Amino acid sequence: MLYNPKSKNAGEFISDSEIKETLAYAENNKDNLEIVDSILKKARKMKGLTHREASILLACQNEDKNKEIYKLANEIKQKYYGNRIVLFAPLYLSNYCVNGCVYCPYHAKNTHIPRKKMTQEEIKREVIALQDMGHKRLAIETGEDPVNNPIEYILESLKTIYSIHHKNGAIRRANVNIAATTVENYRKLKDAGIGTYILFQETYDKKRYEKLHPTGPKHNYDYHTEAMDRAMQGGIDDVGLGVLFGLSTYKYEFAGLLMHAEHLEAVYGVGPHTISVPRIRKADDIDPSSFENGIDDDTFAKIVACLRIAVPYTGMIISTRESKEVRERVLHLGVSQISGGSKTSVGGYADDVEDAEDSAQFDVTDRRPLDEIIKWLMELGYLPSFCTACYRSGRTGDEFMKICKEQNIHNFCHPNAILTLKEYLSDYASEETKQVGETLISSETELIDNEKIKEITKQNLKKIENGERDFCF
């Protein structure tokens, strides 16, 4: 099929022939420093790159140029997102699944993994446990099972999650990562007040995709790949893309991911709100070494940097799949959101017992508690943020993107990050973390450019000390 980013046909906006031509072009020009320099010149305008331009940077092996790529990625991250790092946690509601995905322990043929589906009372316990950690933002996860996990169950669970206010805790934004569904169901999710709808493509290589998903509704490549179109048609403003690196060649996935972003921009005027970069990890009956396309840490860092340069406006997410060392390495290359204190099992937060992990979707590598992660971020010079203000203020979709692309979100996000960090320090932090945090808040407040906003921020900080909560710009 001919490549057409404005088409709503998956085979046209993710064109196999276009990807292969792109990769061949990148391979032939990776050492052409004149072309590399011209791309870097364009990239310094911080308006993004095409999938073909970015693929050349990814393929480039010149050490000096790679240093420039990493430096530029950091500059773009600072320009758009500053030193803020948004925190979230996944919440697994159910691991019942009818699909046969060969890289996921939830696959239907796995008969020895215990199947679990939380009741609303159990969800309440999990949410209270997450609130007691300090979390304000969740990513809701389930397996695909129309009988056990119908849309009605997801909607009821969202209502429960948003209704719980324990002590000073509240979940202010629930993003949803569930299987591809209908326009009607996306409308229902929108009406339920979800934040971002997230769906990982897993792989953009159609032949590989169909082989990796031999059975179940997820086998349908086109229906899965066109899910974001239906979500936007259903009124969802913010969508999140991602691939599972290791399933196919990373260069193919990189080009496909950017083509998907270009498609959303071309058709809806809004690219992905977030891009996630998970790598395949060990799980119950999954051995990552059986997949021949795994990538090393150096390659992973290069992917993150090139994604940041190519899609400067998007939020970039890295989970606890990655180690402390890897997360630290890529934070300055473009990552703007991380999970903390995560459990990938059904019901893992309230009980916090090892046997809950027999239902985990993948092994967590960074097992540090949230408080330790917050302290670590601050000591590295980052500003942890629990902010959800844009979502609740209607700054979503094209409205958010307009502000972001104009590099003005710091006017909202920076003071909001300060205020939500103050809430965390007041309600949940250890004494040691609190000391580091108060010093950081003092210095970060003085960096606010707008004097009026600075003064209001200082006033609200005092109000938080006096017990008031939930201030935002």
CA–CA separation, 113 and 472 (whole Å): 43
Task: Name the helix (H) or strand (E) containing 94.
Answer: strand 84-94
pLDDT tens for each residue of 299-335? 999 999 999 999 999 999 998 889 899 999 999 999 9
Condensed to tens digits (0 to 9), the pLDDT of residues 173-193 reads 999 999 999 999 999 999 999
Q: Could you give the CA distance from residue 441 to residue 36 in angstroms, rounded to a whole number?
A: 40
Gap between the Cα atoms of 123 and 129, Å rounded: 10
Element (H, E) at 212: helix 206-212
E-state strands within 82-189 = 84-94, 137-142, 173-177
Residue for token pair 């997360």: 327
For position 294, what pLDDT does the model report? 87
Read off the pLDDT of residues 220-248 as tens digits, 9 standing for 90 and up: 999 999 999 999 999 999 999 999 999 99
User: Where is 262: in which H helix or E strand?
Assistant: helix 250-268
Residue 354 has pLDDT above 80, yes or no: no
What is the pLDDT confidence band of residue 285, given thresholds at 50, 70 and 90? low
Per DSSP, 290 falls in state G
3-class DSSP state of 243 = strand
**Please, are residues 66 and 74 in contact by the beta-carbon 8 Å criterion?**
no
Amino acid of residue 171: I
Contact 282, 288 (CB under 8 A): yes
Q: How far apart are CA 190 and CA 176, in angstroms?
A: 10
DSSP 85: E
Question: Mean pLDDT throughout 346-371?
Answer: 70
CA distance 362 to 104: 8
Q: State the DSSP code for 120.
A: H
Q: pLDDT above 90 covers what percent of the chain?
A: 80
Tell me the chain's radius of gyration from C-alpha atoms.
Answer: 21
The DSSP string of 389-426 is HHHHHT--HHHHHHHHHTT-THHHHHHHHHHHHHHHHH
**Phi, psi at residue 181, to the nearest 5°?**
-140, -165
**Locate tokens 């292969």: which residue?**
20
Each domain of the chain, given as residue ranges in start order, spans 16-77, 82-389, 408-465
Q: List strand residue ranges (DSSP E) for 97-229, in order.
A: 137-142, 173-177, 197-198
Tell me 168's DSSP state: T
Q: Which residue has the higher pLDDT, 363 or 218?
A: 218
pLDDT band at 436 (very low <50, low <70, confident <90, very high): very high
Burial 430-448 (b: 16+ CB within 10 A, else e): eeebbebbeebbeebbeeb
Backbone angles phi, psi at 385, to 5 degrees: -135, 135
pLDDT for 109-122, tens place per residue? Answer: 877 888 999 999 99
Does residue 355 register a pLDDT over 50?
A: no
Phi/psi class of residue 289: alpha, beta or left (left: φ > 0; alpha: ψ in -120 to 50)? alpha
What is the Cα–Cα distance from 241 to 226, expressed in whole angstroms? 12
SS3 88: strand
Q: Number of helices (H) and strands (E) in the chain: give both, helices first.
A: 21, 9
Alpha carbon distance 194, 180 (integer Å): 15
Q: Which residues contact 202 (CB under 8 A, 6 or more apart)?
A: 101, 103, 209, 212, 213, 243, 244, 247
Taking each helix axis from N to C end, the angle separating 370-379 and 431-446, rounded to the nearest 10 degrees, works out to 40
CATH of span 82-389: 3.20.20.70
**253 closest CA partner among 81, 22, 473:** 22
pLDDT of 360 above 70: no
Cβ–Cβ < 8 Å for 94, 145: yes
CA 259 to chain centre: 18
Instruction: Give tens-digit pLDDT for 49-61.
Output: 999 999 999 999 9
pLDDT digits (tens, 9 = 90+) for 26-78: 999 999 999 999 999 999 999 999 999 999 999 999 999 999 999 999 999 99
Nearest to 88 by CA among 367, 256, 319, 262: 319
Residue 282 has pLDDT above 60, yes or no: no
Q: How confident is the model at residue 402 (pLDDT cuts 50, 70, 90)?
A: confident
For the chain, the average pLDDT equals: 92
